[in-house]
């Protein structure tokens, strides 16, 4: 690492800055800090009404870092309650600079779920912005350990005297996200800096971003795909373009207004653009890389997006949260594409990844459950040894650890993977991975029902767009009341769109509810 003297306009001081080299790019703060120190006036963030340089974002992050070091309770995690604000990004970086890991606390989540998440991680503080300070204070008040609330200051409030030292504290963990759990309790997935850096190195080689690129940022911080947007962008010294809330419903305008060059979304967004007839040939000439992840990508949709963005390379990425964002990639060819039932191949694993495919007996196979291993894969759920033991297994003479994805794949002769579906009841709805049993658990809990079954329905182009749940016919209480009670425990994307009250549940030869038959009845409109 090289030390140089740089002039910092906002401090009116000459300070010693350490210029980052490739050898110390082992954590997320350093990825950002390289450009904060070497090119501080480059634009890091663009909002609809404001822009912010790497210097401004970095200085605000150091201010938050100083507050965390002075006031936060012990422990690895800090809650981050923000949403598409300057505080989201400065707060995230400040947490990392302080050597802690961030836990997103979406203001849109029900209070009960926020309490579960913040208590599970025992967050040492809640970082928020002025717009959500009251909500953060209310949450902190009901948590058993009452963490302090730290507010990201407005830009005019920055003062260098309160900043943390330039050099960041080091921490192993980078962030923790919570996924749907079959027991009704969300599972914490702790991701380490080394996991993210392994992904970023692979993505850098695949997408090859440059400082002149302008990245989309369509994902909320509770969705791990947001890490791709933010830190792939800042690793390259590029600009992150944050949409206004209304632009999330009009992404075409957002792309054109910001001259987006690197696009990243779930396939559902492309499907929406297609339904709105916005994927016209040449509609997005600035896009040079268009990546999709989070759901199966229909080949027809990929082709239509390629037509709208004729200069773009179309990438289909695949990976669960446990494997850090994405771990396989397939580039849409100009000629015939590999697909299964109209769904694009998920391609091949990144060079650093190790995969295995096992059959129902646990043996090696070309078709079966996909297992993932390597530096991107976390090694356990947070303080959950029982479910960790089921999801993470050791294979081979070296006892290599693999994560069981629950996804069925087939590997072709060239080594490409085709996605065949889920082996369990976990589904993707609008890009969110959902454990249907968690919905069932909450339905039984709030209604007193003896049974509850949920299925993904309807399906459009192979992608689930909603949930239908089945409850006993004699159940007391209206659908409206039951769904309202569920809304206090589940996020919006997990709420059933329809409740069916019936005792006519089909069962298979194993005595289990036949979910496929239930979906078939829905499609035949016999429920």
pLDDT (0 to 100) of residue 35: 97
Question: Same domain for 418 and 441?
Answer: no
Q: Are residues 165 and 271 in the same domain?
A: no
Based on the fold, state whether residues 153 and 238 are members of the same structural domain.
Answer: no
- C-alpha span between 315 and 208 (Å, rounded): 13
Q: Are residues 242 and 339 in the same domain?
A: yes
Q: Which of 378, 491, 433 is nearest to 114 (CA)?
A: 491
Sequence-separated (6 or more) residues with CB below 8 Å from residue 252: 273, 276, 278, 283, 284
Q: Which of 373, 395, 422 is the last residue of a domain?
A: 422
- The last residue of one of the domains, among 124, 139, 171, is 171
Is the separation of the CB atoms in 293 and 281 below 8 Å?
Answer: no
What is the predicted pLDDT for the residue at 17? 41
Confirm whether 401 is domain-assigned. no
Half-sphere exposure of 327 (CA within 13 A, CB side): 23
Cβ partners under 8 Å of residue 81, min gap 6: 105, 106, 107, 126, 127, 128, 132, 135, 136, 139
Residue 184 has a pLDDT of: 65
- The answer to whether residue 254 is domain-embedded is yes
Stretch (H or E) spanning 275 = helix 267-275
Q: What is the pTM of this model?
A: 0.84
CATH classification at residue 473: 3.30.300.30
Whose structure tokens read 């836990």? 103
Cα three-residue angle 146-220-353, rounded to 5 degrees = 105
Nearest to 195, CA basis, from 374, 404, 401: 374
- Distance, CA of 72 to CA of 83 (rounded, Å): 21
Please tell me whether residues 283 and 138 are part of one structural domain. Answer: no
DSSP 370-424: EEEESTTS----TT-HHHHHHHEEEETTTTEEEEEEEEEEEE-TTS-EEEEEESS
How confident is the model at residue 19, as a pLDDT? 45
Which residues have C-beta within 8 Å of that of residue 427, sequence separation ≥ 6?
A: 433, 434, 436, 456, 464
- Residue 232 shares a structural domain with residue 154: no
Cα torsion at 502, 508, 512, 516 (round to 10°)? -70
Cis-peptide into 458, omega within 30 deg: yes
CA–CA distance, 371 with 349 (Å, rounded to integer): 11
Comparing CA positions, the residue from 90, 105, 45 lying closest to residue 243 is 45
Name the stretches of the chain with pLDDT < 50. 1-23
In this structure, the chain runs to a length of: 527
CB of 342 closer than 8 Å to CB of 298: yes
Measured between alpha carbons, how far is 19 from 281 in angstroms, rounded to an integer? 44
First to last CA, the chain: 67
- Concatenated DSSP letters for 504-517? ---B-TTSSB-HHH
Establish if 502 belongs to a structural domain: yes
For residues 486 and 499, give the distance between their C-alpha atoms in angstroms, rounded to a whole number: 12
Residue 3 lies in a domain: no
Looking at the structure, tell me whether residues 296 and 312 fall in a common domain. yes
Query: Is 371 inside any structural domain?
Result: no
Q: Are 283 and 342 members of one domain?
A: yes
CA 376 to chain centre: 14
Beta bridge pairs of residue 86 = none
Is residue 468 within 8 A of residue 497, CB to CB? The reply is yes
Residue 315, domain CATH? 3.40.50.980
* Number of compact structural domains in the chain: 3
Question: What's the 3-state SS for 494-507?
Answer: HCCCEEEECCCCCE
Strand partners, 150: 127
State which of 171, 198, 216 marks the end of a domain. Answer: 171
Ranges of H-type helices in 122-171: 133-142
Of 237, 234, 230, the residue nearest 216 (C-alpha)? 230
- State the Rg of the chain over Cα: 23
Contact 240, 89 (CB under 8 A): yes
Q: Is the domain of 414 the same as that of 448?
A: no
Question: What pLDDT was estimated at residue 155?
Answer: 64
Residue 490 lies in a domain: yes
Give residue 423's pLDDT.
Answer: 83
Q: Are residues 436 and 334 in the same domain?
A: no
Instruction: Kindly compute the dihedral angle of the four CA atoms of residues 300, 305, 307, 311, in this order, to the nearest 10 degrees.
Output: -140
* Residue 359 domain flag: no
| Residue 118: HSE in the Cβ half-sphere, 13 Å Cα cutoff | 33
Domain with 328, as residue range(s), is: 228-351+406-422
Q: Cα dist. 494→65, 432, 467, 486 in Å? A: 34, 9, 8, 9
443 and 503 in a single domain? The answer is yes
The CA distance from 264 to 282, in Å, is: 18
Residue of 203, 336, 206, 237 whose CA lies nearest to 36: 237
Answer yes or no: are the C-beta atoms of 178 and 117 closer than 8 Å: yes
User: Strand, coil or helix: what is 39?
Assistant: coil
Assigned domain for 131 exists: yes
With b for 16 or more beta-carbon neighbours within 10 A and e for fewer, the 495-516 pattern comes to: bbeebbbeeeeeeeeeeeebbe
The dihedrals phi and psi of 304, each to the nearest 5 degrees, come to -70, -35
- Residue 471 and residue 411 share a domain: no
């Amino acid at each position: 690492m090289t030390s140089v003297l740089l002039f910092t306009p906002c401090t009116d001081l000459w300070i010693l800055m350490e210029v980052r080299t490739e050898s110390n790019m082992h954590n997320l703060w350093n990825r950002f800090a390289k450009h904060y120190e070497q090119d501080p006036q480059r634009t890091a963030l663009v909002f609809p009404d404001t822009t912010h340089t790497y210097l401004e974002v970095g200085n605000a992050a150091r201010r938050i870092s100083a507050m965390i070091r002075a006031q936060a309770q012990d422990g690895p995690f800090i809650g981050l309650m923000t949403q598409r604000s300057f505080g989201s990004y400065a707060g995230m970086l400040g947490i990392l600079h302080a050597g802690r890991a961030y836990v997103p606390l979406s203001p849109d989540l029900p209070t009960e779920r926020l309490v579960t998440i913040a208590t599970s991680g025992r967050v040492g503080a809640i970082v928020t912005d002025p717009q959500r300070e009251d909500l953060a204070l209310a949450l902190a008040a009901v948590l058993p350990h009452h963490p302090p609330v730290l507010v990201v200051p407005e830009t005019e409030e920055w003062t260098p005297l309160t900043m943390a030292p330039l050099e960041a504290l080091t921490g192993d963990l980078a962030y923790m996200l919570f996924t749907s759990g079959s027991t009704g309790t969300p599972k914490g997935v702790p991701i380490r800096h080394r996991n993210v850096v392994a992904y970023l190195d692979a993505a850098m080689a695949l997408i090859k971003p440059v400082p002149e690129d302008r990245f989309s940022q369509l994902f909320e911080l509770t969705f791990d795909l947001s890490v791709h947007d933010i830190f792939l962008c800042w690793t390259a010294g590029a600009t992150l373009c944050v949409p206004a809330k209304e632009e999330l419903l009009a992404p075409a305008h957002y792309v054109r207004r910001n001259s987006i060059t690197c696009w990243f979304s779930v396939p559902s967004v492309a499907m929406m653009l297609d339904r709105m007839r916005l994927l016209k040939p040449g509609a997005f000439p600035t896009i040079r890389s268009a990546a999709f992840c989070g759901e199966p990508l229909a080949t027809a949709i990929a082709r239509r997006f390629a037509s709208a963005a004729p200069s773009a390379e179309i990438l289909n990425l695949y990976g669960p949260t446990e494997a850090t964002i994405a771990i396989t990639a397939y580039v849409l060819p100009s000629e015939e594409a590999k697909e299964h039932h109209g769904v694009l191949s998920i391609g091949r694993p990144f060079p650093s990844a190790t995969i295995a495919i096992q059959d129902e007996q646990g043996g090696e196979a070309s078709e079966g459950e996909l297992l993932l291993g390597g530096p991107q894969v976390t090694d356990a759920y947070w303080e959950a040894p029982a479910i960790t033991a089921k999801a993470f297994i050791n294979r081979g003479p070296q006892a290599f650890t693999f994560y069981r994805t629950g996804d069925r794949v087939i590997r072709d002769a060239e080594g490409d993977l085709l996605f065949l579906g889920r082996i369990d009841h976990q589904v993707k709805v609008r890009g969110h991975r959902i454990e249907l049993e968690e919905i069932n658990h909450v339905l039984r809990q709030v209604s007193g029902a003896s049974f509850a079954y949920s299925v993904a329905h309807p399906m459009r182009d192979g992608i689930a767009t909603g949930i239908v749940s089945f409850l006993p016919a004699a159940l007391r209480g209206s659908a409206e009341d039951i769904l309202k009670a569920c809304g206090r425990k589940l996020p919006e994307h997990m709420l059933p769109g329809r409740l069916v009250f019936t005792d006519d549940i089909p069962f298979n030869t194993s005595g289990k509810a036949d979910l496929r038959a239930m979906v078939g009845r829905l499609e035949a409109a016999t429920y």
